[in-house]
Chains A and B, each alone.
Chain A
Amino acid sequence: MSIDPKAPVPAPSLLKCCCLDSSGRDGLIARRTLLATALATALPAAPARAGSGQAGHVFVLDSRDATVSVIDAARGEVVKRLPTLREPHHLVYTPDRSEIVLGDSVGNEFLFLDPARAEATRSLRVSNPYHLMFSPDGRWLTVASLRRHQIDLYRAADYALVHRLAAPRMPSHIAWSPDSRVTYVTLQGTNDLIAVEAETGRILWRKPTGDTPAGILRAATGELLVANMGEETVSVIDPESGETMRRIRTGAGAHNIFPSPDGRVLFVTNRVAGTISILDAGRFAVLGAYGAPGAPDCLDFSPDGRQIWFTQRVANRVGVLEVETGALVAQIRVGRSPHGILFHALA
């Protein structure tokens, strides 16, 4: 598919999708009305535009170009490229939100960014950081080493390594329990989810999820949600036992899960289907899906929640979707294989 960044982008309608309803029965359910109703009550109408119209920096990790593309969010233009060492994949705020830390897996380091100035400030050598996440209380940092099959737990205050666990195979994405006691990591190579007690580094359980589990989210309702990339499902998992309670059908290559800023809906990127599914955050019912070409991966939201900014891994672009209409209003050229993305609002 050839994409011209200057060409007008057709506004795709919300897709109908085949899904399981809350009782587990298969059914083809048109969710357009339900979704439109839900969103219309939450969001005021907004005109389509390339940028968000809101001041901010959007940080995009160009994993195969070893750069961070910094997009001026208001204008929707790349204004800066920050060099990294080799292969950055994921990024998060530090617990006090004063810095962004990104994991450069092949470069074996954390790179810290000043989000307001959009500049690198310092680096720290660590082993193969692919995905990373701080605990809710800010005491711990979990790092998944996808290539070295290791899970590392660092003390967040000084980034001292506390536990290193062999995790066969391919630890992928991370979540935390709300009390910061347990960290959960998907094991892409063995189709499992593993729960580790932070203080002791003890494995609490390891349970099968689905084919090639990737993204994971601890839902506000308490369950763990795991996107199974080798299937078209999201597993709903009991965080205490690790047992899968049910599966929700989203789209082929379900990859990662993100809550909307207001917490009312969840968005699931589907790599193979080229869609972003919308789930009700309470019952996990599928409300619909947006067309999202370019093998969608990670996403973030404009501060007002009206736009989704998502990375298009094989299109070397960031797509911007209007949440209300599903219109793809812009595709911004960044570096090769864009992966992690973070929208930092500026006052």
Chain B
Amino acid sequence: MIAALGEAYVALKQTIFEHALLPALYALGLMAFEEAAEEWLDFALLGALTVFVSVAVCLPLERWRPVEDHGADRGPIRTDVTYTLLSRLGLAPLFAFILLRPIEAAWAAGLARLGFIPPTLETLIPPLRDAPLLAFLAYVVVLDFAEYWRHRLQHRLGWWWALHSLHHAQRQMTFWTDDRNHFIDDLLAGLWFALVATFIGVPPGQFPLLILLTRVAESLSHANVRLEFGRIGRYLLVSPQYHRAHHGLDHAEGRHALAHGCNFAVLLPVWDVLFGTARFGRDYPATGDLSGSERLALGSWWGTQAEGAKRFARALIGRG
């Protein structure tokens, strides 16, 4: 079954690449990016599959035990759908790639001239070399740790919060909300990843199904569903209940106020436990950001992007 699906995937990719993408690159004089385009096509096809699986998993759950009824006005949710499609089908990452690739190349070349060659986890921990799956899982843990700290900074630094508040402005949170991020915030995420990769290399790419599972788990954590993972499970994986507490209107209250929130973990709650930002409960608070504007909460993709950029600019010049 999996083999047959794999063959179908290869056939689809070959058809698109040979008969559409490659001729288009050739016609546009962009053949220098042919290898990158093949990589991008894999990303986009996997992203499409991720959307399909996320819908298949999350939608029934949201209908089964919804936290709240979002009523007839689904405009903000449609905005999140746009964010998801732009992100997972590779359009937003494509622009990020175009902007970041020269920076990343210059950074890596400069380090190479200094004699520094980025290691990988396998070169740092040699036994991982013979266990690619274990190496991949080690990367998931280390990168999730890095994401935890990026997320902490997004809430801690005023100018970064000005961008990240776009994600928190959503009052009708669903599994589509996961990709609701400002484009500049996505660029910063790319730079953050490049910085981390300088010290541990980039993760192996040969486990697309596992990448898909992690992305579905991230979508699920935003789902509008009454679901938590029990006494042990809540320490292992971020649940919709756990992440909803992070998005709650009251997330900056109590002892978590100093950290500007709680439950920052993306996949593994252990980071919140270790650094004192975990809040395990059973409540499903209303979501949104009281400091945000109506345009940030209810606007279209363009509207929220423009509003986010404006808030970011004001924060940078100290007027936010």
Contact = CB atoms under 8 A, between A and B. Distances in A.
Contacts of B132: 66, 83
A80 interface: no
Given A164-B112, A253-B26, A314 B13 contact: yes
Given A148-B105, A337-B38, A107 B120 contact: yes
Contact of A314 (B7, B14, B29, B109): B14
A293 B18 contact: yes
B157 interface: no
Given A148-B112, A150-B109, A125 B123 contact: yes
Interface stretch (B200-208, B228-236, B253-261): B200-208
A108 to B, nearest CB: 5
Contact of B39 (A64, A65, A107): A64
A246 B138 CA distance: 54
A271 B14 CA distance: 12
Interface string B100-140: 00000100110011000111101100000110100000000
A188 interface: yes
B31 A295 contact: no
A253 B18 contact: no
Interface string B1-44: 00000010011011101110011001001011010001100100
A1 B32 contact: no
Interface string A67-93: 100000000000000010111000000
A315 B32 contact: no
B32 A230 contact: yes
Contacts of A127: 112, 117
Interface in A149-172: 149-150, 164, 166, 170
B17 A150 contact: no
A294 interface: yes
A211 interface: yes
B226 to A, nearest CB: 40
Interface in A279-321: 293-295, 313-316
A108 B129 contact: no
A230 B29 CA distance: 6
A252 B14 contact: no
Contact of A294 (B18, B26, B29, B108): B18
A185 to B, nearest CB: 15
A215 interface: no
Contact of B17 (A145, A148, A314, A336): A314
A278 B38 CA distance: 27
Interface residues of A, number: 48
Contacts of A177: none
A188 B32 contact: yes
Contact of B112 (A128, A212, A229, A274): A128
B11 A2 contact: yes
Contacts of B10: 315-316
Interface string A46-77: 00000000000000000011110000000000
A212 B14 CA distance: 22
Interface string A316-347: 10000000000000000001110000000000
B108 A64 contact: no
Contact of B29 (A64, A83, A211, A335): A211
A230 B14 contact: no
Contact of B26 (A108, A147, A252): A252
A91 to B, nearest CB: 17
B292 to A, nearest CB: 39
B103 to A, nearest CB: 12
A295 B112 contact: no
Contacts of A211: 29, 31
B161 to A, nearest CB: 34
B206 A66 contact: yes
Contact of B22 (A1, A189, A271): A271
Contacts of B18: 1, 274, 293-295, 314
B191 to A, nearest CB: 17
Contacts of A164: 112-113
Interface in B60-112: 105, 108-109, 112
Contact of B205 (A66, A126, A128, A166): A66
A3 B109 CA distance: 40
Contacts of A314: 13-14, 17-18, 38
Contacts of B7: 2
A170 B117 contact: no
A313 B42 CA distance: 13
Contact of A1 (B14, B109, B118, B201): B14
Contact of A86 (B39, B108, B201): B201
A170 to B, nearest CB: 6
Contacts of A38: none
A15 interface: no
A147 B22 contact: no
A18 interface: no
Contacts of B117: 108, 125-127
Contacts of A335: 206
A36 interface: no
A64 B204 CA distance: 9
Contacts of B206: 64-67, 335-336
Nearest to B17: A314
B31 A229 contact: yes
Contacts of A106: 201-202
Contact of A272 (B13, B15, B23): B23
A107 B201 contact: yes
A69 B254 CA distance: 57
Nearest to A66: B206
24 contacts: A1-B15, A2-B15, A3-B11, A64-B42, A66-B206, A85-B122, A86-B120, A86-B201, A87-B205, A127-B117, A128-B108, A148-B109, A150-B112, A164-B112, A188-B32, A212-B32, A230-B29, A252-B26, A253-B26, A272-B22, A294-B18, A295-B22, A314-B38, A336-B206
The 3 closest A-B pairs by CB, nearest first: A2-B11, A148-B109, A127-B112
